[in-house]
Amino acid sequence: MFKSFAKPQSSSGVLTFIRGKRISATNPATERIVQQLSVLAAGRKQPKLLNLSNEDIVKHRTIMSAWKLFTRKKKRAEQEQLNQQYESICNAMNDLKETSPALFELASHKEKRLRFPLEMRFPTEYPPNRPWVYNFTGPVKKRK
């Protein structure tokens, strides 16, 4: 049925129009494409518009403004902490420069390609069967 890829083939080649004769349903391959199109298209799949009552509009707006207040507070606290952390990095480096220039040189040296290890994973909703991997055999050849 398939040549290079699953190609819809019409059995009769060209559809010819004959007066009085109903054009029958398309062949399976074309039907398949039509079905794929029906998955993509909005026709008959859209829900009804919300059309909320006045009370519910007010309720929804209240919820959204409370959510905005909540997230804004959270974001501000996060940014504040980051600012403090940045300040303390600058502080530490200035101090180190004063105290020991040799160590400062080493501390400000950057690798050309900074990469995070692949073992750092995203947290999941539930823990894995073994929450922690203990069998690490030791540094074979640690990174510099």
Near another protein by CB under 8 A: residue from 14, 19, 126, 141: 126
Under rule CB under 8 A, which residues in 76-105 are in contact with another protein? 77-79, 81-86, 88-89, 91-93, 95-104
Least separation in angstroms between CB 15 and another protein: 16
129 sits near another protein (criterion: CB under 8 A):
yes
13 sits near another protein (criterion: CB under 8 A):
no
Q: How far apart are the first and last CA of the chain?
A: 59
**Cα dist from 9 to 6, 16, 41, 107, whole Å:** 9, 15, 23, 68
Residues listed for the chain: 144
Q: Which C-beta is closer to another protein: that of 16 or that of 46?
A: 46
Amino acid symbol at 36: Q
